[in-house]
């Protein structure tokens, strides 16, 4: 499965909704699984590198580190290239999560 995702019809409003929804979902996951968000680098710009890191308070749980290159073009095309994520998380699972956020933020 490709680690590059493309989404059509992503206006600035929808893009902001996706970022907000993603932050909410990650915060909820972190809180319910004893993680803290130690890095949240999601630029306000339409293009950039996103870096999100969750660290566990428990020693036996791995840290979760996600890096993606993100680009939203003027014709409302959003491209997400997954650069790095934990090895035990499948690409299919990551794609499913992004698709959920994309569909949640319909205009």
| pLDDT tens column, 47-95 | 999 999 999 988 889 999 999 999 999 999 999 999 999 988 888 999 9
Question: What's the pLDDT at 2?
Answer: 60
**pTM for the model:** 0.89
DSSP 8-state secondary structure symbol assigned to residue 74: T
What is 4-104's CATH topology? Answer: TATA-Binding Protein (3.30.310)
Please report, for the chain, the start and end positions of each structural domain, with discontinuous segments joined by +: 4-104
Residues forming beta bridges with residue 70, ordered by sequence position: 48, 80
Mean pLDDT of 9-28: 96
Question: What's the pLDDT at 84?
Answer: 93
Beta-carbon contacts of 53 under 8 Å, excluding residues fewer than 6 positions away, are: 37, 38, 39, 63, 64, 65, 66
Residue 18: helix, strand or coil by DSSP?
A: helix
Distance CA(9)–CA(32), nearest Å, equals: 33
């Amino acid at each position: 499965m490709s680690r590059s995702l493309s989404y059509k019809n992503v206006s600035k409003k929808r893009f902001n909704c996706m970022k907000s929804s993603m932050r909410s979902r990650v915060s909820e996951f972190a809180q319910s699984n004893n993680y803290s968000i130690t890095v949240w680098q999601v630029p306000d710009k339409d293009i950039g590198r996103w870096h999100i890191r969750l660290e566990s308070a428990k020693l036996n749980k791995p840290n979760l580190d996600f890096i993606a290159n993100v680009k939203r073009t003027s014709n409302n095309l959003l491209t997400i290239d997954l650069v790095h994520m934990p090895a035990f998380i499948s690409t299919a699972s990551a794609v499913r999560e992004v698709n959920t956020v994309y569909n949640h933020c319909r205009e």
